[in-house]
A and B are shown apart, each in its own frame.
Chain A
């Protein structure tokens, strides 16, 4: 179909990138559709969590387990990583220089890994307080939802490493560009999911402790 009007939503490459811009169209649209499917996956797991809130079976409850400070740090880490990925995308679109792009991607990767580290620490401290998934339906649902997001972030980090190696080997060619664009979508999508987790899981969970 014709080029100009049917652009995918998001940060397009633009005519400066010639053929790469055209190649992006079907692929990026496909990735948007894939994420719709992934969003349903998260939707189901959110629904399981919300309908399992009272299924604590005499085990520890949210307010005893969640640590708002630590999850706020995670939020900051992940949101900053989205910002740095945005900078990487802009570097790719407007400055056809690899160095800046790679630098921003590396910062993003470090933030992502830090997020995973803090999250794992969180899980460990929950487990120390008896908050393990085998304890109750509520905890099963928690450990389905939050680690599923964490697993997505880990997959994103692995993908980013693979892309960085590709950049080192082939430079910023079509396929690497398209890979970075898709990873960017994925990364921002995980941000949105995290905002959902923070507002639906952690904030209400800790509110009860106050109230």
Chain B
């Protein structure tokens, strides 16, 4: 242990080392790209640290954000993490599309480098973009929608965030030190076993996933318990906003679907570190165990990702059509049906891996069944729009893009659900086109729509509408250009994960896909510009009163941003669309409420400590630095024990302070001019709506 204080970490781990040792053309190009990426990570880190120091924000960062148990702040931090990781994974996608566009006879990337790109792209997009994004949105919105002061376990929430961030940090540091896995986002053994991949790559993958999946398990427990136990009086289950229903279903799926992943990665780690034989080729190992367990997680995971997006669309379509959701009950039933069915279809991820035809048929049928509840949802959304006064604001544009594109993606999924067809197109880019066709318009558009929809609630000002529209159109068109050609290429026989090819017929379609990728990157840039412009105009865009879209659920009934305790007095719910009902009865803005002392949780350093120690432990495991593993493992255990001794874990916001903040908001409500819906994207919008039934514009 002391003979090698840095384990297997040496200068060779640096991305430019190989290039200096063996300076041939191919090695140099790959070395430059890898070094450039590493420099971006290091530079990004340095710039962030410098800026925080320059503006003396360390104390604020620590006491207002990192140690905060407030679900709203944790939600925002999750979304920031998701955006950072989205930038990286999207640039990787651009690089891969460029490689394939020039891939006739070689391209510029080495196969190993390309394999790292698709592995990190997939791993990041699923675990460190999609999961943090939806977790962040649910964190912010769900407690507000059910009229709660926070989630059930605020400190556990902060631990979940820290673990997820630690996993993301591990993926980021793999750019600087060593290489990431080349085994794809699902890391199939025996390829990822020590005998075939002796390097650090799969270890980075294993521990990054382990950290984040632990975080997600705790998140699922936390959300589910919150929805069961913290609802405001009168908020019965069948009055929950649909987004909260999807959050509940996703949480249940997290509780049950994350453990199989934890077991699969832990067993792979036992194989790699201690010479066990779970998935090896010899001595009784069987990789099918891994395939089964991974997809027993992996398929419910698909619905963990998509259901919150369905929830977002349900909210935005209803709000921007000015109508109650059509078929609420059927949407709830469909959501839960999808949740149950999601556990019955995992085998369709490996139809071609040797099981009997009747087994394949059963799973094929189960897979097709999922199309039914999903279809119900699409019809419900269309009927919600029918005869509504639809406003084509940014979230609505995403919703429209989603409904058209998702149906196509779903239909290609129904094709793939037929084992006979699957045998023809499996492992081709047809599959790549299919899952991007559901993941991008489904999940990603949904999350960006959520970002536009709830941003004013979180920060108190609206996002710029024009740049938002530019971005939305670029996303939609860019997506279509990037992925529709892949359907054709797949049918032409192009395998997925191909670094180079010898078939000239692929070139035109690959070029179109590359252009699409450029357009998607442009869409991301437009989102950046939009944020910049919006912050610049934040005074004019202010919506402090809190209801910029004539919202229907409780989160719109409080100021924007909300006070830390969310509700001055816990609301009493009498019907669905609780806030709309209150507004219609003239009770939307009660000036006097029963003010009481409110108990809120104190800040806790447990989250950041566990996150940092978890990261250090994982890093030590990756590089076999055993003293580091033991030290920080001890820190983890000690931190949890010490936390058990904490007694003074909450503080009180006095009734007087609550009354003062409420009065401040009431004054703003009194000053604000109520606006009709066609003014909602103008500076006139201060967040006070003329209810649609009594609006003068009607």
The residues of A with any CB-CB pair to B shorter than 8 Å are 1, 6, 25-26, 29-30, 33-34, 36-38, 40-41, 43-45, 48, 51-52, 55-57, 59, 133-141, 143-144, 158, 162-163, 165-166, 169-170, 173, 175, 179
Contacts and interface: CB of A to CB of B under 8 A. Distances in A.
B284 interface: yes
Interface residues of B, number: 42
A134 B289 CA distance: 17
List 3 tightest A-B contacts by C-beta distance, closest first. Answer: A137-B284, A55-B284, A140-B276
Interface of B: 152-153, 217, 220-222, 224-225, 228-231, 255-256, 258-260, 262-264, 267, 270-271, 274-278, 280, 282-286, 289, 293, 296, 637, 641, 644-645, 647
Contacts of B153: 30
B267 A48 contact: yes
B343 to A, nearest CB: 11
A169 B645 contact: yes
27 contacts: A1-B231, A6-B229, A26-B152, A26-B225, A26-B230, A30-B222, A33-B255, A36-B255, A40-B259, A41-B262, A44-B264, A44-B293, A44-B296, A52-B289, A55-B277, A56-B284, A57-B282, A133-B270, A133-B275, A134-B276, A136-B283, A136-B284, A138-B284, A143-B276, A162-B645, A165-B645, A175-B647
A3 to B, nearest CB: 12
Contacts of A25: 229
Contacts of B277: 55, 57, 133-134, 136-137, 139-140
A188 B395 CA distance: 49
B260 A40 contact: yes
A48 B293 CA distance: 9
A144 B221 contact: no
Given A140-B278, A170-B647, A52 B286 contact: yes
B263 A26 contact: no
Contact of A37 (B228, B255, B647): B255
Nearest to A37: B255
A40 B637 contact: no
Contact of B263 (A44, A51, A137, A166): A44
Contact of B283 (A137, A162, A165): A137
Contacts of B259: 37-38, 40-41, 43-44
A45 B230 contact: no
B289 A51 contact: yes
Contacts of A135: 283
A56 B286 CA distance: 12
A133 B221 contact: no
B645 A144 contact: no
Contacts of B283: 57, 59, 135-137
A170 B284 CA distance: 53
Give chain B's interface secondary structure class.
helix
Give chain A's interface secondary structure class.
helix
A135 B644 CA distance: 41
A86 to B, nearest CB: 23
Contacts of A43: 259
A179 B280 CA distance: 42
A55 B282 CA distance: 10
Contact of A140 (B152, B263, B270): B270
A26 B229 contact: yes
B221 A34 contact: yes
Given A48-B289, A140-B267, 4 more contacts: A6-B229, A25-B229, A30-B225, A41-B262
Contacts of B296: 44
Contacts of B645: 162, 165-166, 169
Contacts of A29: 225, 228-229
B284 A134 contact: no
A136 B267 CA distance: 14
A1 B229 contact: yes
A43 B256 CA distance: 11
B278 A137 contact: yes
A30 B260 contact: no
A140 B269 CA distance: 12
Contacts of A37: 217, 220-221, 255-256, 258-259
Contacts of B271: 140
B199 to A, nearest CB: 21
A144 B289 CA distance: 14
Nearest to A137: B284
A138 B259 CA distance: 21
B225 A33 contact: yes
Most central of B228, B231, B280 by chain A CB within 10 Å: B228
A29 B222 CA distance: 10
Nearest to A36: B255
A99 to B, nearest CB: 21
Given A33-B221, A33-B224, A37-B258, A137 B285 contact: yes
A151 to B, nearest CB: 11
Contacts of A141: 278
B223 to A, nearest CB: 10
Most central of B228, B282, B284, B641 by chain A CB within 10 Å: B284
B41 to A, nearest CB: 33
Contacts of B644: 162-163, 166, 175, 179
A41 B262 CA distance: 8
Most central of B263, B637, B645 by chain A CB within 10 Å: B263
Contact of B637 (A33, A158, A173): A158
B286 A137 contact: yes
Contacts of B263: 41, 44-45, 48
A134 B275 contact: yes
B66 to A, nearest CB: 24
A40 B256 contact: yes
Contacts of B289: 48, 51-52
B286 A30 contact: no
B152 A144 contact: no
B197 to A, nearest CB: 19
A152 B694 CA distance: 62
Contacts of B282: 57
B281 to A, nearest CB: 11
Contact of B276 (A45, A56, A144): A144
Contacts of A170: 647
Nearest to B293: A44
Contacts of A134: 274-277
